[in-house]
Amino acid sequence: MPLPEATLTREQTKIEACQEAIGYRFQRPELLRAALTHTSGANTRAASNERLEFLGDSVLGLVTCKLLFKRFPDYDEGDLTKVKSVVVSRKTCAIFSRSLGLGGFMFLGKGVGAFGEIPSNMHADVFEALVAAIFLDGGWEEAKHFILRFIEPVVERVAEESVGSNSKSHFQHVIQRQWGGTPRYLVLDEQGPDHDKCFKMAAEVEGHRFPAAWGRTKKEAEAKAALNALAEIEGTELPYPCD
């Protein structure tokens, strides 16, 4: 339960505000204090968030890997690695940090961040340290719940953009080399309400329609249709059969 504002010190006020912003209340607030402490604001290096950052990076990576492994059963190691590298990148962690306003809660040395925006690397560090602090305070389930709030939407977008675009590019290259044409993608069916539609799409080249695939977005359906088309050309099992 939050303390009355009149009884809080400046440090406690910052800790309280941070907990409200992140949607998690610590049983051991000292862990949050450590996560928010940059080396410039610590009495010793060991009192900064560097050790927590090390742990948080691993927790974040494990949650992400488990999600990707379950969400994309047909992706090979290379595809999974591509998506993971973006989802847990320093750039992405900095975006998460800024969305929570963590920079405003950090304990910094004099002059650090006083003359402009806090650097992206510091934002990434504090987000990873926060993940570790939640893990140590509330355990695996609390840390997983916190992480998934941020990474699930990113995973879907990155998968479409990286793996999806690669499969379509590869398919187009094969078609141009073997057929001399350009594939087009047809919407064969749509199901579900407007806010949660699924699309059935197929690739077609010079009148030949390849096996269709379902996807939760048109981009995802196109990528899966391209993989189905490649499987048909190669004479292998369809990765996304839908009929």
Domain map (residue ranges) of the chain: 5-158, 183-234
Q: Which residue has the tokens 């051991």?
A: 28
User: Do 5-158 and 183-234 come out as alike in CATH topology?
Assistant: no
Architecture of domain 5-158: Orthogonal Bundle (1.10)
* pTM recorded for the entire structure: 0.69
DSSP annotation of 181 reads S
CATH topology for the 183-234 domain: Double Stranded RNA Binding Domain (3.30.160)
Tens-digit pLDDT profile for the chain (243 aa)?
A: 554 554 468 888 999 999 999 999 999 999 999 999 988 866 666 678 899 999 999 999 999 999 999 887 767 788 788 889 999 999 999 999 999 999 999 988 876 655 567 889 999 999 999 999 999 999 999 999 999 999 998 987 887 676 666 788 888 888 888 888 889 999 999 998 887 889 999 999 988 999 999 988 888 889 889 989 988 998 888 888 887
CA distance 150 to 58: 16
Closest CA to 61 of 92, 37, 102, 105: 92
Q: Where are the beta strands (DSSP E) in 110-209?
A: 184-191, 198-205, 208-209
**Which positions are catalytic?**
57, 128
